[in-house]
A and B are shown apart, each in its own frame.
Chain A
Amino acid sequence: MSINLLKIKDLRVQYHGVEALRKISLSIDRGDYVGLAGPNGSGKSTLVKAILGLVPFEGRINFQSKSLQEFVTTKHIGYLPQKMSFLDQRFPATAKEVVVSGVYCCKKFPKHLTRGDYKAALQAMEILGVANLADRLIGRLSGGQQQRILLARALVHSPQFLILDEPTEALDPKSREAFYSTVERLNKENGVTVLLVSHDLGSIGNYASKLIYLDRELVFYGTFKEFCESSKMTDYFGAGQHVICHMH
């Protein structure tokens, strides 16, 4: 019996007069591992931003049956953002300080960190196997380690829903593998619902059970099996469909 977590109905987002997303409707159940793919500029990040309440939208987004207003605090959602450009090698913060900052989502003013918060941070880092890096400076860690620290930051407040936006772009294949297996573990063992955004259908194919294909509007949403058997998709992708399905 699948419990609905996220329900999107008739979502429409306009950016500077351009329609970034048009009439998106879909729902995600608890425990799903959903991939979100589409070409560049197709609105993947926009969809994520809408779910996170960072952009104004028309239509409805319900999270656990509660309607998401703009700029609501993301208590139940963990987010690993796409860019890593801010990670200045010289930034003077330890991994622990970065991870624990994830709890600020759920604190009221004046935000005071408790010992419980630090414990949660360490636990999140343990799950991701980076607890030993707690007092190391974040700028000095490798790309893979940094990604896992940021993932720990996303998880520290024990969210039910994890959104990963192009998480492995800058990683080498080995780190990429390690990262994805961790996420898989979170999904299968800890029951975290995952939305993985990637323009690389191949990666999605290896891990996700469902696929959203976006091109400003919803081109496809369903299981991978449905994707491979869909003649509509054959028309749309041509030979590409075969490649993707073969990998899965």
Chain B
Amino acid sequence: MTAIFVQIQEAIQYAFVQRAIVAGCFMALGCSFLGVFLVLRRFSLIGDGLAHVSFATVAIALLLDAQPMVVSIPLVALASLVILHLNEKARVYGDAAIGLVSSFGIALGIIIASTAGGFNVDLFSYLFGNILSVSSLEVWLTIGVSLLVVLITTLFYHDLFSVTFDEDYAQVLGIKVKVINHILIILTSLIVVLGIKIVGTMLVSSLIILPAISALQIMRSFKATIALAGVFAVVSVIVGIFASYVLNYPSGATIVMVNFGFFVGSFMLGRFIS
């Protein structure tokens, strides 16, 4: 046990580990907060879906010799709005809407990559980040975006709750349902685009889905669910990074495994409670 403690102390000496923890925790917070709403509205796979769209947008950016982020963020936000409108107007189920936009994104990206006659860099390596390679700037960006997400979900908590629980009644209550939906989806696209670049798709997608469904196993109240999802997410990052150091595994995958462990735990606890 002390050996593990010693290794943890050792790990935390490194600046890259410190940055991984800070960026990871804030990313976890932002993703898990939004995750509860997204999962309940059947938009769980939006992380993966928007990642596929990012692929196309980065291909476009490299083709135009522009900065990937500058092109990605608005285009991915646009794609997320398309998903939203497909869901609302065309009455397409949330997950199917994501699938539609996502496959379009990947196909487009592949075609661009093929016909572009090559690029100056390998697309994938520039698209997907890694939690162990987070720069100081990226740490600040993560803190900023996550605090924005927390702030907005807090300010609009009741509206988001009403819209998620009963969209029609929310309209009766005078809540601007369209505006709330747009806010939710644009916030999501923002954190997903940044998340993919900073910590990678697998981690972003997992942090959106897993803490939320783990919290949903222990249903106390809506507020408790959001809080619990946040706790699961943040703790999983900290435990995951240290565990990956001690066990010599890649950090992103370890964090996901820890999340899975939390799910199993809360599943059993949920059964036990009820």
Give me the interface of A with B, judged by CB distance under 8 Å.
52, 54, 71-74, 79, 81, 83, 86, 90-94, 96-98, 101-102, 104-105, 107, 109-111, 113, 135, 137, 153
Contact = CB atoms under 8 A, between A and B. Distances in A.
A98 B155 CA distance: 18
Contacts of A92: 40, 215-216, 219-222, 224-225
Contact of A94 (B156, B172, B216, B222): B222
A101 B161 contact: yes
Contacts of B166: 81, 86
B40 A74 contact: no
Given A90-B216, A91-B40, A111-B159, A97 B221 contact: yes
23 contacts: A54-B171, A54-B172, A71-B174, A72-B174, A74-B172, A79-B169, A79-B172, A91-B40, A91-B165, A92-B216, A92-B222, A92-B224, A93-B161, A94-B222, A97-B221, A97-B223, A98-B165, A102-B173, A104-B158, A104-B175, A111-B158, A111-B159, A153-B169
B158 A113 contact: yes
Interface residues of B, number: 27
B185 to A, nearest CB: 19
Contacts of B173: 73-74, 101-102, 104-105
Interface in B141-192: 155-156, 158-159, 161-162, 165-175
Contacts of A93: 161, 165, 221-222
Nearest to A52: B172
Interface of B: 40, 155-156, 158-159, 161-162, 165-175, 215-216, 219-225
A104 B216 contact: no
A139 to B, nearest CB: 8
Q: List the 8 closest A-B pairs by CB distance, nearest first.
A: A73-B174, A92-B219, A105-B173, A93-B222, A92-B225, A94-B221, A111-B158, A110-B155
Contacts of A83: 168
Contacts of B171: 54
A229 B209 CA distance: 63
Contacts of B222: 92-94, 97
A109 B174 CA distance: 12
B162 A104 contact: yes
A192 to B, nearest CB: 17
B174 A101 contact: no
Contacts of A94: 220-222
A105 B219 contact: no
Given A73-B173, A81-B168, A97-B223, 6 more contacts: A79-B172, A81-B166, A92-B216, A93-B221, A93-B222, A104-B174
Contacts of B165: 86, 91, 93, 98, 101
Contacts of B169: 79, 81, 153
A241 to B, nearest CB: 34
Contacts of A90: 216, 219
B172 A135 contact: no
A111 B223 CA distance: 15
Contacts of A98: 165
Nearest to A77: B172
Contacts of A72: 174
Nearest to B157: A111
Contacts of B168: 81, 83
